[in-house]
Amino acid sequence: MKTLFKTAIKLVILNVLTFILGSLSLKAYDNNPLKSNQMDKIEQFKKMKMLDYLNLSEENSEKFLIKYTQMTKKIKEKRKEVDDAAKALNQAVKDKKKEDITSKTDAFIQKQQEMMDLVKEMQKQIRSVLSEEEFARYLLFERNFNSEVRRMVQKNLKESHGRMRD
């Protein structure tokens, strides 16, 4: 029975991922930015895969998700600040204003440092609710998930681009 359930879950996950990747490839092909609801779907998919991979108890899953969700929200906000600082720096470079370039460079570096500090804090918070083995698996999942999604998107884009030529 457990095997049947796991197979059903994997099929659902595969279908969701296929849908998301299809949407991503169309958006990337049109050169449009991803909509926030698509990013939310990817984040939900990531959480499902992560919980499945970590195989946590219900109690630990709850603790983990609370910390993970709180920290990813903070990181998302900080990422926007880093992006805004990068845009400001880019504009200063285009305008060739030396004093602006210096101040915008310093601001950009500061935002990047704040982002790194936040990632460290997230790791500390997550580690506090997981065993050492679970935490190690979490770190590996985080590292591998983004690479895997990127690889799948690129593959999907190549296939879509090939079909458009036909």
pLDDT along the chain (166 residues), means of 10: 50 48 43 66 89 92 94 94 95 90 95 96 96 95 87 81 63
Cβ(61)–Cβ(51) below 8 Å = yes
Q: Tell me, yes or no, whether 140 and 112 share the same domain.
A: no
On whether the CB atoms of residues 5 and 15 are closer than 8 A, the answer is no
Tell me: do 45 and 63 sit in the same domain.
Answer: no
Cα 98 off chain centre by? 35
Contact 119, 57 (CB under 8 A): no
- Per-residue pLDDT, 13: 52
62 and 124 in a single domain? The answer is yes
Q: Would you tell me how many other CB atoms lie within 10 Å of the CB of residue 64?
A: 22
The two three-digit tokens of residue 111, written as one number:
């935002």
Q: Does residue 125 share a domain with residue 70?
A: yes
For the chain, the domain total comes to 2
Residue 23: per-residue pLDDT: 46
Can you point out the beta strands (E) in the chain? none
**Can you give the residue range of the structural domain that contains 153?**
1-56+134-166
Same domain, 93 and 119: yes
Q: What pLDDT, on a 0 to 100 scale, did the predictor assign at position 45?
A: 87
- Specify the pLDDT at position 43: 87
